[in-house]
């Protein structure tokens, strides 16, 4: 293998640039030519491919987002689109890929390998931390710290005005962001997709808190909770407690940006090197991850299909700490 390429796909996450940097410099260290593909699979199809040097990735480790840009590709879903992407790679002599992204990215890479035999090693770049095969994903630590920073400020206002704040964090299918935000942010209640928390339970928790002379509350809501969004949940609770002074804050995409933490820079660098070394070792269709502080490679099919379960003790922690 002489030439490889790296691309970022799906939602951006802090630390993607650090991972790109590690891929580029690891490739050069190992005597490979390294190319960048802009805008994910869309750029692959369109041939938006350029050679990268060590200087290309100077001064990017501290930057959020991705210098390679990211996009979701409808064309890559089609056989014709994948054929065009393959043709572009062959024209540039690219023999292997490093994909930084999530389950959608790895699903596409897995299918691409089955059809055209281009080996891909993936690095888990997503703030959601919901990929099986790694304890932490690139961007997760930064996203949680960003959210907690905001929640700390919201708590000041909640306390000053004796209000209930419903704070919505990202997590369409998972409570991995919501749980540490609830524990680290001192929230009284957390609502996540993995655990059913009824409106009645929220109402009871608030009334119990008031009976203990609490005057302000933080309710953390993962965006994918079965009761709805934070706005919908606040409205439902307000019907049951009309006198409640409530506000809603949706943190949204602020969680996906910003300079990555030291932990995310370290993880991204480890996994970027591991992706290049995995390709050189003849691996294909696997994601590099860290489990129990050890580097592991997990087949894409397992990363895509297996569920990464939350620790059930986390809910118990919040119940204890919110007394």
Q: Kindly tell me if the per-residue pLDDT of 308 is higher than 90.
A: yes
- 298 has binding-site annotation: no
Q: Kindly tell me if the per-residue pLDDT of 36 is higher than 90.
A: yes
When pLDDT is averaged across residues 56-67 and rounded to a whole number, the result is 98
User: What pLDDT does residue 111 have?
Assistant: 97
Is 225 part of the annotated catalytic residue set?
no
183 CB contacts (<8 Å, ≥6 apart)? 314, 317, 318, 321
- Domain boundaries along the sequence of the chain: 3-139+260-305, 143-256
Six-digit token string for 43: 């750029």
- 255 has binding-site annotation: yes
Q: Say how far apart CA 159 and CA 165 lie, in whole Å.
A: 10
Q: How confident is the model at residue 311 (pLDDT cuts 50, 70, 90)?
A: confident
- 237 has binding-site annotation: no
User: What pLDDT does residue 300 have?
Assistant: 98
* Three-class HEC string of 208-262: HHHHCCCCCEEEEEECCCCCCCHHHHHHHHHHHCCCCCEEEEECHHHHHCCCCCH
User: What pLDDT does residue 313 have?
Assistant: 87
The count of C-alpha atoms lying within 13 angstroms of the C-alpha of 235, restricted to the half-sphere facing its C-beta, is: 6
When pLDDT is averaged across residues 67-90 and rounded to a whole number, the result is 96
When pLDDT is averaged across residues 73-96 and rounded to a whole number, the result is 97
pLDDT tens digits, one per residue of 112-127: 999 999 999 999 999 9
- Mean pLDDT of all residues belonging to the chain: 96
- 186 has binding-site annotation: yes
When pLDDT is averaged across residues 275-298 and rounded to a whole number, the result is 98
User: What pLDDT does residue 175 have?
Assistant: 95
Q: Kindly tell me if the per-residue pLDDT of 314 is higher than 90.
A: no
Catalytic residue among 12, 48, 75, 128: 128
The count of C-alpha atoms lying within 13 angstroms of the C-alpha of 135, restricted to the half-sphere facing its C-beta, is: 10
**3-139+260-305 and 143-256 share one fold:** yes
**Least confident span in 33-37, 233-237, 314-318:** 314-318
When pLDDT is averaged across residues 104-118 and rounded to a whole number, the result is 97
What topology is assigned to 3-139+260-305 in CATH? Rossmann fold (3.40.50)
pLDDT over 70 for what percent of the chain? 100
Q: Say how far apart CA 135 and CA 146 lie, in whole Å.
A: 19
Cα–Cα separations (whole angstroms), residue 269 to 101, 259, 321: 15, 15, 35
115: closest CA among 147, 84, 156? 84
Q: Which of 3.40.50.800, 3.30.460.10, 3.40.190.10, 3.40.50.460 would CATH assign to domain 143-256? A: 3.40.50.460
- 269 has binding-site annotation: no
Beta strands in 29-101 (DSSP E): 33-37, 49-52, 96-101
User: What pLDDT does residue 217 have?
Assistant: 96
When pLDDT is averaged across residues 126-134 and rounded to a whole number, the result is 96
When pLDDT is averaged across residues 59-73 and rounded to a whole number, the result is 95
Q: Kindly tell me if the per-residue pLDDT of 323 is higher than 90.
A: no
Q: Say how far apart CA 300 and CA 104 lie, in whole Å.
A: 10
Q: Which residue, chain included where needed, has tokens 């630390």?
A: 15
- 283 has binding-site annotation: no
156-190 b/e (C-beta count within 10 Å ≥ 16 → b) = eebeeeebbbbbbbbbeebbbbbbbbbbebebbbb
- 256 has binding-site annotation: yes
């Amino acid at each position: 293998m002489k030439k490889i390429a790296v691309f970022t796909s799906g939602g951006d996450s802090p630390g993607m640039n650090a991972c790109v940097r590690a891929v580029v410099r690891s490739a050069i260290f190992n005597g490979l030519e390294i190319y960048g593909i802009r805008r994910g699979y869309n750029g692959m199809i369109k041939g938006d491919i350029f050679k990268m040097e060590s200087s290309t990735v100077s001064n990017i480790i501290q930057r959020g987002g991705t210098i390679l840009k990211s996009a979701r590709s409808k064309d890559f879903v089609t056989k014709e689109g994948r054929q065009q992407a393959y043709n572009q790679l062959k024209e540039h002599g690219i023999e292997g890929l490093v994909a930084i992204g999530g389950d959608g990215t790895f699903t596409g890479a897995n299918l691409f390998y089955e059809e055209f035999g281009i080996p891909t090693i993936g690095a888990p770049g997503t703030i959601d931390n919901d990929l099986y095969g790694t304890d932490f994903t690139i961007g997760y630590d930064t996203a949680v710290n960003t959210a907690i920073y905001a929640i700390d400020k919201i708590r000041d206002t909640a306390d000053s005005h004796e209000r209930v704040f419903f704070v919505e964090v990202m997590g369409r299918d998972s409570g991995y962001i919501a749980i540490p935000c609830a524990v680290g942010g001192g929230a009284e209640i957390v609502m996540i997709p993995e655990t059913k928390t009824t409106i009645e339970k929220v109402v009871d928790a608030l009334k119990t808190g008031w009976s203990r002379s609490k005057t302000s509350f933080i309710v953390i809501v993962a965006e994918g909770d079965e009761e709805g969004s934070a706005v919908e949940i606040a409205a439902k609770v307000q019907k049951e407690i009309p006198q409640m002074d409530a506000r809603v804050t949706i943190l949204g995409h602020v969680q996906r940006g910003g300079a990555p933490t030291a932990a995310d820079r370290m993880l991204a660098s480890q996994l970027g090197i591991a992706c290049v070394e995995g390709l050189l070792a003849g691996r294909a269709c696997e994601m590099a991850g860290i489990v129990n502080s050890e580097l592991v490679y997990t087949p894409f099919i397992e990363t895509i299909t297996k569920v990464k379960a939350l620790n059930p003790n986390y809910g118990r922690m919040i119940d204890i700490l919110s007394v």
